[in-house]
Structures are given as structure tokens and as C-alpha cells.
Chain A
Amino acid sequence: MLFGRNAQGKTNVLEAIYILAYGKSFRTVVARDCIQHGEKLCGVEGVVEKQSVERDLGVAISSREKKLMLHRKSVGWAEFVGNLHVAAFTSEHLGVIRGGPGERRAFLDRAMVTVCPGHIARLAAYTRALRQRNKLLSFYQRQDRRVDDSLIEAWEEKLIVEGTQILRDRARYVEALKGRLPDKLFGDDTLTLQYISNAALEPGDGEEIEWEFRERLSEKRTADLRSGFTSVGPHRDDLKLFLNGKPLAEFGSAGEQRSSLLSLYFAQMEAHKEVHGFYPVFMVDDVEAELDSERMKRFLGHLAQRTQVFLTTARETSVAEIAAGVRRYEVRSGTIAPAPAEGDADLD
């Protein structure tokens, strides 16, 4: 647990760990923004121990480039990612519940990186084909030319091949999450999930999705030609969340939304465990802001037996209420110092 007053650098520590895991920050997509104002570069180094194997990880970011290092040697993204698995819980992630479908798709895609290899590459190919089809549509929209259907179909075929698999994998992953949502961890509320796609109403096996996606694309082609935009496909999908049968974003209280998001993370970590055999490292920024102590206590109690957890808090005293035996560090003006564990004296 990291405690200290505001603006001392607590969140920075979590950010650093996150960068070691994914080569980028949860705070910004622009790598440059990680560099302290007035400085030329920044770097993170860390040693990860997994099943008694130690790995040296490092990331160096300058205004011009980013270097990922494994055992002090520069490596590519594919080799770097996967050495450290982290799930981060910060207030920014509440967008998954309150924000638009795009943020929920991003949540799924991010979580799937570690359990569904190839997903990111397929997304990239899909997005590329989507841009090409949209460009073609807007070309026909602007120019009064005879529409070459087989040309549009050529791009659709690519969308269908990649999109079908993206859709099927996402739907499968949501099913996996559903089966792993915590039972009564946060009271009696029931959280349910539903993956919604306009390309396939009830995503079944690959062939069914493919068939339905193809039908819908061609149904909507005339409308798409008018709008210059592809209206069907996994790039329009959404993950719906319901608490006790009601849409969470509209009807859930702030507290319910937070604990629901935590439930999602819980399921994500269980799904990860299923594939890799161990839990990812878990981080919560500003614990008090996220949950009331009763819920947090149960959640952390559950996690602490399974994986390493990093917390930040401004209120040092609240920690004892949350969990016993926590190692405490004080963060003050950018430096971290171990603090005596609360209650240690009693134990000794």
C-alpha cells in the first residue's frame, strides 16, 4: 500500500508498473506525455518474478522513440508484452460503465490481449479494411459513378473474415466473464452482461455469424453508400451491463457502478487465471474513492490470497480496516520509503 498526501507521486508508481506491463500508460495514449515537463526522457525498470523466474523489464521513452527492454536488450512489442500481467482499477476506468460503447469495446479488447492471441492483429486488419470500405463509399458518394458492387464486396469479404472472428472471440470472452462474476462478493446484487452486435443478433458459431454478417452488410449497402459510412460490424458492438435486470449506466448508483466494475475486473482476473494458471497483479488507485470499506475489505481479502495487490490511498489510517498484514510505503515528494506496518508492534 502506498500512502501519502495528494500530488506526491502515488499514482505515478502504479503508472510505472502499468507501463512495464504494456509499454504504455493508462493515463495517456501519447508516450511523450509520460515525460516530466522540461525533461528529455523518462524510463522505468523493474524485476518481475513469476513462478520463481526473474525477468528484467525496462521501458525508455524519449520525445522521439520508445524502447522496450527485456534483460536489458531492446525487444519488440510482441516479445515484451506478456511478461507482466496487470489489471488496473482507476477512476478513469469508470468510463467502461458510464462512457460510450467504444470504451466498453476497448475494455474487452484490452482484457483479451492476454487470453486471445492474434486478437489485436485481427482488429488492426479489420480496421484497415473498414477504412478502405468507408473511403470507397465516400468516393461513390462524391462522384456520380456507377457503383461496382463486386468492388465493395471485395472489401466486405475482408471485413467478414476478420470481423466474424473478432465478434465470435468477443462474445466467447463475455460468456467466459459471465461465468466468473463473483457470487455475493458485493452483496446480493446480480450483475449480468450481454454482448450486443448488429452484425449477428445472437452470435452462435462462426459459420452462422459469417452468414448473418454478410446478409446485413449487403442489406445496408445502399444506406451505407448514402452515408459514406459502414453501419454494420463489430466496430459498432456494445457490451450491455445490467444490475438486477436494470441498465447499470442509467439506474445504478455511483457505488453500485464502482462495485460492478470491480466485479468485471474480478471476472477478468479469473478468466486470465483459467488460461495462464496465475492471477494478474492488481492495482487500485485511490482506494477510498472507489469503494466503501466493507466491499473493499471483502474484495481485497479475496485477492490478497491469490495475487500481489498495489493500492494507493491518501488516508493512512483506513488501511488497517481494510486488511491486516499490509506492507506500507509512504510517498512524499516523489520518493518512496517503507513505513512500519500498522499493528506490527501488537503482533510481535
Chain B
Amino acid sequence: MSDYAEPISRLIEELRKLPGIGQKSAQRLAYSILRRSREDAERLSRAILDVKEKIRYCSRCNNLSDQDPCHFCVNPNRSPETICVVEEPNNILSIEKTREYHGQFHVLHGALSPINGIGPDELRLKNLLARLKEGNVKEIIIATNPNVEGEATAIYLAKLIKPLGVKVTRIALGLPVGSDLEFADEVTMCRAMEGRREL
């Protein structure tokens, strides 16, 4: 690193810590920042600080938001009767893209994984149970990932929530729409067969 002036190498080192950024990308980004105006640099650093200062977890649903409760939780057009449970905040975006779901969300911030030391205490479950006790919720849709950990988390949640008298559903697993059957792997195809519906 001694080939660079100290401030440049410090910037490159910081950029390199970000995911997906290697030595070369970090260099390119650093030089690009150097070439830009002072205002650009200030906007960038302000934006970085703003996320850190203004973004909080919503106290109801644990989504990342600049207001508490977040805009999903306070939106009067969204039904309080269903809550869709997801692993990460960015999963909400995938579901929102459909424009078909008009209920609430709940973010666990992870999935059960004893290997990684993640048990129920490490997931954000307490406020979910508190929301259920309010009595408005009729259905919980579990939309954790379709891998071993996501499935186990879904089963655990169902065991936890069903005794409270709330309907628990799991999103369907199967073939991607618009693709071709010939590209489906065996396991997905198997799941799709299991989840078939009468026409």
C-alpha cells in the first residue's frame, strides 16, 4: 500500500472492506471519488452518515426505516389481519414488487442455525408475539427461504404461533413462472408435484 499517498490508501482500505469490492475495484472507486468535486464527496459522506444516524429498526416489525413505526406499519391501507414473516429486510422488497400483498410484514433478521449460534433468542420474535396478542391478526404467512434453515424456522414458528389460534401458512415452493419445465432441477420439480392443485 505504500505506493499511495496515505489518505488514498486509507480510503482504498475502507472501500475494500465492503462486500464485493476487491483491490482493483477499491482503487477505481477511490480514484473516481478523487476526481469528483468536493460537493460530490460531501454528499457521499453525508449520505453514509445519514443511514447510520437516521435508519433504525421499526419497533413493531423490525424493518429498516427512518421512522418508527415504519411506513408499512402505519399505512391505513394495509390490512392488520395478515403478517408476512421474512428473514431479511430486502425480502420485503421482493414481495412488494408484486403489488399483490396488502398486509403487514415482520423481519426476523436471520433464520435458525445452531451451527452459526443462532437460536430463537437471536431472532427478533418477541415483538411478533406481542403483535399477535393484540388480537387483530388472523393469518401469518411464513416466507422464509426454501433452504434447510428457512424450512426449520418456518416449522418452529408454526409450532409457536398455532397454539395462539392464528392461522399459519407457508408460501408455495415450486417452478418459476415463465420458465420451462426442462430447466427445473429434480428437487424443485418434486416440490412442484407435491404442491399440485386440482383444476
Chain A interface residues toward B at CB < 8 A: 78, 117-118, 121-122, 125, 128-129, 131-133, 135-136, 139, 148, 150-151, 153-155, 157-158
A118 touches B114 (CB 8 A): no
A158 interface neighbour in B115, B151, B160, Cβ under 8 Å: B151
Residues in chain A near residue B66, CB distance under 8 A: none
A157 interface neighbour in B152, B160, B187, Cβ under 8 Å: B152
A151 touches B186 (CB 8 A): no
Q: Return B139 CB to nearest CB of chain A, in Å.
A: 20
A157 touches B155 (CB 8 A): yes
B148 interface neighbour in A128, A136, A151, Cβ under 8 Å: A128
Q: Known contacts A150-B159, A151-B120: does B186 contact A129 (CB below 8 Å)?
A: no
A151 touches B156 (CB 8 A): yes
Closest B residue, CB atoms, query A154 = B156
| Interface assignment of B149: CB less than 8 Å from any CB of chain A | yes
| Interface assignment of B165: CB less than 8 Å from any CB of chain A | no
| Interface assignment of B185: CB less than 8 Å from any CB of chain A | yes
Q: Return B126 CB to nearest CB of chain A, in Å.
A: 15
Chain B interface residues toward A at CB < 8 A: 112-115, 119-120, 148-149, 151-153, 155-156, 159-160, 185-187, 190
Residues in chain B near residue A78, CB distance under 8 A: 185
- Docked Cα-Cα span, A158 to B152, in Å, equals 6
- Docked Cα-Cα span, A132 to B156, in Å, equals 14
Q: Return B170 CB to nearest CB of chain A, in Å.
A: 12
Q: Return A272 CB to nearest CB of chain B, in Å.
A: 17
Residues in chain A near residue B155, CB distance under 8 A: 153-154, 157-158
- Docked Cα-Cα span, A78 to B183, in Å, equals 11
B114 touches A135 (CB 8 A): yes
A121 touches B186 (CB 8 A): yes
Chain A at the B interface: mostly helix, strand, loop or mixed?
helix
B152 touches A154 (CB 8 A): yes
Q: Which 10 A-B pairs have the closest CB atoms?
A: A118-B186, A154-B156, A135-B114, A150-B159, A136-B114, A117-B186, A154-B155, A128-B148, A121-B187, A154-B152
- Docked Cα-Cα span, A139 to B115, in Å, equals 10
A151 touches B187 (CB 8 A): no
Closest A residue, CB atoms, query B159 = A150
A132 interface neighbour in B120, B148, B186, Cβ under 8 Å: B148
A154 touches B112 (CB 8 A): yes
B115 interface neighbour in A117, A121, A132, Cβ under 8 Å: A132
Q: Return B116 CB to nearest CB of chain A, in Å.
A: 9
B159 touches A153 (CB 8 A): yes
- Docked Cα-Cα span, A59 to B153, in Å, equals 39
B114 touches A132 (CB 8 A): yes
B148 touches A125 (CB 8 A): yes
B190 touches A118 (CB 8 A): yes
A150 interface neighbour in B113, B114, B115, B156, Cβ under 8 Å: B156
Residues in chain B near residue A155, CB distance under 8 A: 114, 152
- Docked Cα-Cα span, A157 to B152, in Å, equals 8
- Docked Cα-Cα span, A78 to B115, in Å, equals 28
A135 touches B186 (CB 8 A): no
Closest B residue, CB atoms, query A117 = B186
Residues in chain A near residue B159, CB distance under 8 A: 150, 153-154
A132 touches B119 (CB 8 A): no
- Docked Cα-Cα span, A136 to B186, in Å, equals 30
A158 touches B148 (CB 8 A): yes
B152 touches A132 (CB 8 A): yes
A154 interface neighbour in B153, B186, B190, Cβ under 8 Å: B153
Closest A residue, CB atoms, query B151 = A158
A122 touches B187 (CB 8 A): yes
Q: Return B87 CB to nearest CB of chain A, in Å.
A: 15
A121 touches B114 (CB 8 A): no
Instruction: Report 7 cross-chain contacts, Cβ distance below 8 Å, ordered by A residue.
Output: A121-B185, A129-B152, A136-B114, A154-B112, A154-B159, A158-B152, A158-B155
Q: Return B98 CB to nearest CB of chain A, in Å.
A: 28
- Docked Cα-Cα span, A122 to B159, in Å, equals 24
B115 touches A151 (CB 8 A): no
A151 touches B119 (CB 8 A): yes
Residues in chain B near residue A132, CB distance under 8 A: 112-115, 148-149, 152
Q: Return A229 CB to nearest CB of chain B, in Å.
A: 14
Residues in chain B near residue A125, CB distance under 8 A: 148
Q: Return A128 CB to nearest CB of chain B, in Å.
A: 4
Residues in chain A near residue B152, CB distance under 8 A: 129, 132, 154-155, 157-158
Identify the interface centre among B113, B148, B155: most chain A CB within 10 Å of its CB: B148
B120 touches A148 (CB 8 A): yes
B153 touches A118 (CB 8 A): no
A129 touches B148 (CB 8 A): yes
- Docked Cα-Cα span, A151 to B152, in Å, equals 9
Q: Return A94 CB to nearest CB of chain B, in Å.
A: 32
Further contacts, 14 of them, CB under 8 A, given A118-B187, A132-B112: A78-B185, A121-B187, A129-B148, A129-B152, A135-B114, A135-B115, A153-B155, A153-B156, A153-B159, A154-B152, A154-B153, A154-B155, A154-B156, A155-B114
